[in-house]
Amino acid sequence: MKFVMALTCAFALAGSACAADHGPVFGYATPVNSQRELSFDTGIFGRGGSLGTQLSTGSGLGYGLTPHVTLNAFLPAVFGSGSLPESRIVSGSEWSGGVSWRFLHSVTSVGKRIESTASAGLVVPGPQRDSGVLAGLHRAPGIAGTLATGLASRSQYLWAGAGYTRFAEASQDRRPDTISWSGVYGYRPAKLRRGYDQWDYRGFAELTGEHTGSVFAGGVTLPDSRTTNVWLGPSVLAIFKTVAISGGIQAPVFREASDSNGREHVRFAINFSYLKYSSHTSSH
């Protein structure tokens, strides 16, 4: 995909949040890089809750192997000692890499298309330790898969997606499995629909959700370690030539988590993206 983190994720590869060149900040979307196109992303994600605040930042790289296949890597870093539930929508301390494949691309009319993209990747422990209920666990790699589909036109966008992450066991410890999902609606006003040499704007309403399973420590299931959260909020994307800047904020509309895990109150993100176009054109 053209811009990682953010979405990820964007599209969100390996369960991390991403932002696509025409996509949302938190939700799943479908774009991939064209052949030989190189993309770079960096940004800040924030989570605030009853047991502290956590900020994460990182760099994402994407390379278009073919017009419909992109290789991705994401290397984040975490700041703050807030005790917060497991999340794959918002990046944590794990590093990830993998591949995105846009297996459906149907142009229905001028400027309108239907797309579907699948991603698979490996998630590995980063150099930083976790906080909260995950802090004392032995860590092991995991695998992640995501699927997104949607309709994009010159003025409106609609995407739906889901992801699943599962970690291996290490010394009878295991991080929770995570199921994530999102629905995104985007609108690009005619007055803000400008040419390549001017800033072009679009806004999104992003609904995201996550369910994490139980945490295993020493071969025992930790009580009250399951969580389910649903989030809703706006985001804005501005594009100028090969540069994109996006930002968004979300508040919980449903929370089911033990007080011992901490309860999130807000999520926010600011992301910068750059896409280096190839010297030749590739059909999407």
Nearest to 89 by CA among 155, 21, 33, 161: 161
* Closest of 206, 201, 185, 174 to residue 8, by C-alpha: 206
Instruction: Assess contact for 200 and 194: CB atoms under 8 A.
Output: yes
Q: What is the pLDDT of residue 274?
A: 92
The SS3 assignment for 9 reads helix
**What is the pTM assigned to this prediction?**
0.86
Q: Would you say 65 and 115 are in contact if contact means Cβ atoms under 8 Å apart?
A: no
Residue 261 CB-density burial (10 A; 0-12 exposed, 13-18 middle, 19+ buried): buried
Could you tell me which residues are beta bridge partners of residue 227?
212
**79 vs 68: CA distance, rounded Å:** 35
* Whole-angstrom distance, CA of residue 29 vs CA of residue 11: 5
Taking only the tens of pLDDT, the chain with its 284 residues reads 333 333 333 333 333 344 444 579 999 999 899 999 999 999 999 998 888 888 888 889 999 999 999 999 999 988 877 778 788 888 788 899 999 999 999 998 888 999 999 999 999 998 888 877 788 889 999 999 999 999 999 899 999 999 999 999 999 999 999 999 999 999 999 888 887 789 999 999 999 999 999 999 999 998 888 999 999 999 999 999 899 999 999 999 998 877 666 778 999 999 999 987 655 444 44
